[in-house]
Structure 1
Amino acid sequence: MNKKNIFIRAIIVLIFAGSLNAQVKNSIYSMFGVGQLSDNSFGINKSLGGTGIAFQSGRSINYLNPASYLGILPNSFNMELGAYGIYSKSENANTSQADGDIKFSYFSAGYYCTVWWALSFGIVPFSSVDYVVNSNDEVGGELTSFEKKFTGTGGLNRVYVGNSFNIFEGLSVGFNASYIFGHITQTETASSSGSFSGYELKNERSAQSLYLDYGIQYSVTNNHWLYTIGVTYGASKKLNTTDDLEFIYNGETNPLEQDEQLNIKIPQKLGFGISVKKGNNFRAGSDYELGKWSTINFSYPNLDTKNSNRFSVGIEYSSGE
């Protein structure tokens, strides 16, 4: 029996955000639905511009396509741990605000079981909510203005178990079975001004659901070059959500009831990728991914959503083995 190799990688990716015109700590888009969706690319994918749908796993785990797990090196067990840092600066004509943070990104492990089966498991972020928006409003019937602040924190995580199977030479299929869960806190705060005593409206939202996504990879070899195409798919999915609303006024906290629970959905997504590889020295690839956001209703009458399109290209070259 061959001795098993263990590869442990800790990958730290620092992402710096530049100056913003609005007073938003992270992303204004995280106000809606489940928040800002994570790109789910691991360290090796980030170094290739987020590309990976047609790349096979090796010493690194390629989470972007579950069919890739079959590329994990034989008789090996891989583990990866990632973290990221964010620095943001928000400013306008009168004031500026700087924020920074370092957070856990992901943990993943992969195991080569047999020539026809490999698996991966771990926990990865699914979405994040992190924003601060300031505005001004007036008390009806009075000449009193007051400041309002909208804040949001939290996000969702995904625990997954993925499997990859060899159907015949060159063709592999795979799927990730995931449990999505987490909490989001959104608060609207009005400061006291004159005869207006202010208030706070707080919503604690929890969400959870099972989720499946799928992948296919097909490879052919010609003159020492490996050519691969990959396809990924994830269906639209409604999350099970629970909202806990509170209204705080004059020091008193009053629970509120919603007439109708908001429907929060994950959009349908479809990805396609191509790649070429020669030995262990060179590989290049390109991805396209479509997110069907136009079919998602956020229950905001003035909000019109469009489909998202992601393009990426990555090239890797090393002079030695």
Structure 2
Amino acid sequence: MKRILAGVACCFVLGLFVQAQSIYSFEGLGSLNHQGMPNNVAMGEVGIGTPTIWHINTQNPANLVYNTFSTFQVGLEVDRRNFSGEEISGTDTDGGLRFLGYAFPIMPDKWSSSFGILPYSSVSYNTFSEGEVAGTNGDVAQISDNRGEGGLTNFFWANGFKIKNKFLVGVRATYTFGSIEKSSTISIGGNDVPVSNVTYEELESYSDLNFLFGVGYRHKLAEETFINFGATFSPKTPFNGTSELSLIRLSNSGSELETVNVGTQDIQFDLPGTYGFGVSYQKLNKYTIGFDVETQGWESAGLESQTYNNSLKIALGLEWTPDYDNVSSYWKRAKYSAGLNYHKLPYIVNNQALTDFGINFGASLPVSGFSSLDLAFKWGQLGKSSNGLIKETYYKVVIGATINDRWFIKRKYD
């Protein structure tokens, strides 16, 4: 345990919350990350109406009530992307710490709490273009090199409460913070025109508080067989930040000749209102089938200078355990998961909406006590390779660990 926690601390010091490069992360706040744990990724990213006692539910705080153990989860993710389009191709691989959370019961079966940190968005792109300056009859060329990096992180504190035997409520407070740095270097030159190099740098820094509310309901159908319902709501929230703009004049060799700080201004990026609903059919320690749908009102959020679609996400997942009580077969005690998801993104590129489709599967392999090693894999496709867009085919591998124990319990006997 101490070695694991020390390793996590080292990851924080090294700043390993990174994601693979995505061409489309130049839009808005960047590529938006799934706010679930490794077990949710393996199950198609469902979780709003899918409770579990073995893992932390970061998608619906009401379901934390089922965490009767003290639960610690951590996970690493490796992301590889292939890019293809009109005369465009390339690959990129990156990864690092992606999941971290801790949940514990305050009043077992009545009130549980959790806190953790998850990346909300990531920005990592580098695009290059060249052409001629309009009206110069091809005598003057222009080259643009655009780069961006950074992202936003969610630090959350959530609580789930049981109001009656079947009805649950929860609330999650999230402090979202981070910075996004974008630069564009433009080179202009040609016949009888000296080369001119200018870099525009913009640093956006954000920090603000937002809330998510959740409810849950469990109905018993038969012995150890249940149907679960869940719903979440997050109101539209002002998201405050600052923007610093600088202009840098460069020599032909790329060294800085002059830097002009244009100034700093306050900006406000509204986070959209979110509505989610989930349902699952569950036979304890046998199988669970879950379905989620979530929509975000980006059309009335974002920045006034940008236009967005309302986003929609649909996820379907299955988890099953061949024989939970089998003491002679390790693989029959493991949990296996599979699922798929469709996500209509809020960003519009070349007057076209972006969509993301993924197929997921994975397993939770039991280790000492009630703990597990969590594995997940996702194959996905973002965008398309026609009409001026670029198709990203990506593969994500997640390796996580879940530690379940009864911590903070006073011993009755030595």
TM-score category (smaller protein):
0.7 to 0.9
Match status 1:173 vs 2:178:
no
Structure 2 residue identity aligned to 1:267: P
Q: Which deviates more from structure 2 when the two are superposed, residues 30-39 or residues 274-283?
A: 30-39
CA distance in 1, matches of 2:200, 2:215: 46
CA distance in 2, matches of 1:240, 1:197: 36
Q: Which deviates more from structure 2 when the two are superposed, residues 38-47 or residues 85-94?
A: 85-94
1:124 aligned to which of 87, 95, 118? 118
Match status 1:153 vs 2:161:
no
CA distance in 1, matches of 2:132, 2:260: 23
User: In the superposition, relative to structure 1, how do residues 92 and 238 fare at CA in structure 2: closer, same or farther (>3 Å)?
Assistant: same
Structure 2 residue identity aligned to 1:116: K
* Alpha-carbon displacement from aligned partner over 1:132-173 (angstroms, at most 9, x marks no partner): 222224446642112102211100001111100110101111
Q: What SS does the corresponding residue of 2:189 show, helix, strand or coil?
A: coil
CA distance in 2, matches of 1:57, 1:164: 13
CA distance in 1, matches of 2:318, 2:184: 46
- The 5 Å alignment of 1:30-69 reads 30-69=25-64
User: In the superposition, relative to structure 1, how do residues 315 and 93 fare at CA in structure 2: closer, same or farther (>3 Å)?
Assistant: closer
Q: Is the 8 A contact 1:208 1:239 kept in 2?
A: yes
Q: Which residue of 2 aligns with 1:105?
A: 98
Q: Which residue of 1 aligns with 2:289?
A: 284
- The 5 Å alignment of 1:116-265 reads 116-139=110-133, 142=136, 143-191=139-187, 193-194=189-190, 195-224=194-223, 225-250=225-250, 251-257=257-263, 261-265=266-270
Greater relative contact order: 1 or 2 (C-alpha under 8 angstroms, separation 6 or more)? 2
Q: CA deviation at 1:317?
A: 1.3
CA distance in 2, matches of 1:140, 1:119: 60
**Cα RMSD for the two superposed structures:** 2.4
Over the matched positions of the two proteins, sequence identity in percent amounts to: 26
TM-score by length of 1: 0.86
Aligned length, in residue pairs: 298
TM-score by length of 2: 0.67
CA distance in 1, matches of 2:27, 2:222: 50
Q: Which residue of 1 aligns with 2:332?
A: none
CA distance in 2, matches of 1:246, 1:49: 43
Q: CA deviation at 1:94?
A: 5.4
CA distance in 2, matches of 1:248, 1:107: 39
User: In the superposition, relative to structure 1, how do residues 164 and 144 fare at CA in structure 2: closer, same or farther (>3 Å)?
Assistant: same
Q: Which residue of 2 aligns with 1:86?
A: 79
CA distance in 1, matches of 2:310, 2:298: 5
- The 5 Å alignment of 1:283-302 reads 283-300=288-305
User: In the superposition, relative to structure 1, how do residues 60 and 212 fare at CA in structure 2: closer, same or farther (>3 Å)?
Assistant: same
1:311 aligned to which of 311, 314, 319? 314
CA distance in 1, matches of 2:50, 2:85: 43
Q: What SS does the corresponding residue of 1:313 show, helix, strand or coil?
A: strand
CA distance in 1, matches of 2:302, 2:102: 36
Structure 2 residue identity aligned to 1:206: S
Instruction: Give unpaired runs (5+ residues) of structure 1.
Output: 1-7, 11-15, 18-24
Q: CA deviation at 1:263?
A: 2.6
CA distance in 1, matches of 2:74, 2:185: 37
Q: What SS does the corresponding residue of 2:238 show, helix, strand or coil?
A: strand
Q: CA deviation at 1:98?
A: 2.4
Q: What SS does the corresponding residue of 2:204 show, helix, strand or coil?
A: strand
Q: CA deviation at 1:90?
A: 3.0
Q: Is the 8 A contact 2:240 2:266 kept in 1?
A: no
